[in-house]
Amino acid sequence: MPSDRGHRFTNSRYFEDKGVGLGRRVRLGTMKTMRRGLRMPRRRFAWMGVLAVVAMLVWVAGGTLGHAQAQTAVPMTPWGEPDLQGIWSVELLVPLERPGGTTTEFYTEEQVAELDRVRATGSVFGNHVRAERGSEADVAGAYNAVFTSQRPTGRRTGMIIDPPDGKVPPLTAEARARQTEIFEYEAALLQNTVVCRDNLDGCIGGAYGSRSPLRDEQPPYYSTRNINRAYGPEDRSLNERCMSGNLPNFRGGFTGIHYRVVQSPGTVTIFYDVGQGQGFNRVIPITDDPHLPAHVRQWWGDSRGRWEGDTLVVDVTNFSAKRDFRGSRENLHVVERWRRIDPETLEVVSTLEDSTVWTRPWTVIQDFARQPEEPNRIYYEPRCHEGNYGLPGLLVGSRAEERAFAEGQGPDPATRCIAGCSSPEGRDPLALR
């Protein structure tokens, strides 16, 4: 397994050196943390030495925790379960799908260096390349590198390890039809805006034309993405509604992923710091109890954990139909395998299955680097909602535009772009959106 360790904790420095702007660390830490600097105590668990004793006693006691393996170097909790605790973060950028034209599972060091150079000098999202000043595309690209995390390139060419081609499996005919219907609806609402006039990404193959009658119809499915109107909160994406922190979460939105894992005997809890203040807390019971009744649905599903050797295996079902992962909703079934592959690295392998959406299951691998405990650098509070002046502002603005148009004082609101308006220029070629 190639080591990415050289990159650890290089995020901020990387971009300061290159004058690309400051990433999340600064937003998160403000000056208070910066003054303290980055401290990296590599604490050893004083308890590690007693593992064998605990494991033996548990085994002697006839308990069910006797899986502790004496030969492994994986840290264990004092009560004899594999220890996944700590603050973990994704430090390197790995796209979900392997980029086209790449056939290897890993880049060479030279390729990584070249990708770092290209990404840092020419194409950091919204920073170096701006759309025409004052245009809707320019406003939509306002989240530049000050707000976003730009991570060094990882050696892995893509997160998907199965299928072997590194791509999300083909959609089922049913899912393709659904997707087409959604895209056509979304494009129809954009067809008389700058997005289709200038053929930006958001137009999704639509053509520039007059106002679509679909604008006054509801989307064909519960929309989790921005559609080009703001009749009510449901027209806006889960992101704008501060509810984008969902499972599975392979990128964490603009700001990446930080986990805090805390364990007690029989329970693992994970706080997800994702999506710029849209984090959430997840509790995984270690149990062989059955899942919740089928009609009880949750945004984060229903998790059931079990230990297989050093690995926490989590079975997640009962997802809500209001969330969406690449077209998969209430039928999504995820099996996660959490394992410390060394004291400083947490590996999470997720297998996704939804026969109504994908023609076969597929598997994603992610590596997380352990963060020091003392600086406590995790943005704890999911307070997107508490500061969400953007959503009511957009609703108020839309009502004002409608009034102005009705009074002959402004343009038809249908010609305005409030979804999918950003320019494709300047996108990080490896970043997921």
Partner 1 sequence: MRNRIEGLMLGAVVAAAAVSAVIAVTVTRAVGQVQATRPARTVDDKPNFSGIWQALNEAHWDLEAHEARSGMVMQEGVYPFEFAQVPAAPVLALGAAAGVPGSIGVVQDDGVIPYTPEAAAIKQENNENWIDRDPELKCYLPGIPRAMYMPHPFQIVQSTNKIHMAYAFTSTARTIHLDTVDGPPDYTYMGHSVGRWEDDTLVVDVTDFNGKNWFDRAGNFHSEALRLEERFTPISPDAIHYEVTITDPNVFTRPWRISMPLYRRLEPNMQLLEYRCIEFAEEFLYGHLRKEPLVTRWEGETIIVDITRKIPAGDALYDWYRK
Residue found by looking up tokens 């706080």 in the block: 271
Rounded Cα distance, 236 and 204, in Å = 18
Residue nearer to partner 1 on the CB measure, 178 or 323: 323
Cβ–Cβ under 8 Å, residues 115 and 108: no
> Nearest 5°: phi and psi at 286?
-90, 105
Residue nearer to partner 1 on the CB measure, 28 or 432: 28
To the nearest 10°, report the CA torsion of 11, 14, 15, 18: -170
Triad 381, 386, 388: Cα angle to 5°: 120
| Nearest distance from C-beta of residue 60 to partner 1, angstroms | 8
| Nearest distance from C-beta of residue 394 to partner 1, angstroms | 9
Amino acid at 371: Q
Residues near partner 1 (CB under 8 A): 28-30, 32-33, 36, 46-47, 49-50, 53-54, 57-58, 61, 63, 77-79, 85, 231-233, 241-243, 260, 262-269, 271, 280-281, 283, 285, 287, 289, 292, 296, 298-300, 322, 373-376, 380-383, 385-387, 389, 391-392, 395-396, 398-399, 402
| β-bridge pairing 267-273 and 258-264 | antiparallel
Distance from first CA to last CA of the chain, Å, rounded? 28
Residue nearer to partner 1 on the CB measure, 228 or 423: 228
| Nearest distance from C-beta of residue 272 to partner 1, angstroms | 10
Residue nearer to partner 1 on the CB measure, 99 or 265: 265
| Nearest distance from C-beta of residue 396 to partner 1, angstroms | 6
Residue nearer to partner 1 on the CB measure, 39 or 133: 39
**415 token code pair:** 């010609």
Supply the DSSP symbol for 352.
E
**139 token code pair:** 């406003």
Beta bridge partners of residue 272, listed in sequence order: 259, 280
Rounded Cα distance, 204 and 211, in Å = 16
Residue nearer to partner 1 on the CB measure, 79 or 147: 79
Rounded Cα distance, 199 and 182, in Å = 18
**38 token code pair:** 């980055």
| Burial (0-12, 13-18, 19+ Cβ within 10 Å), 290 | exposed
| Nearest distance from C-beta of residue 269 to partner 1, angstroms | 4
Residue nearer to partner 1 on the CB measure, 86 or 202: 86
**Per-position DSSP letters for 175-192, written without gaps between them:** HHHHHHHHHHHHHHTTTT
Amino acid at 352: L
| Nearest distance from C-beta of residue 383 to partner 1, angstroms | 6
| Nearest distance from C-beta of residue 63 to partner 1, angstroms | 7
Residue nearer to partner 1 on the CB measure, 260 or 329: 260
| Nearest distance from C-beta of residue 324 to partner 1, angstroms | 14
Residue nearer to partner 1 on the CB measure, 13 or 36: 36
Rounded Cα distance, 368 and 8, in Å = 10
| Nearest distance from C-beta of residue 415 to partner 1, angstroms | 17
Cβ–Cβ under 8 Å, residues 241 and 391: yes
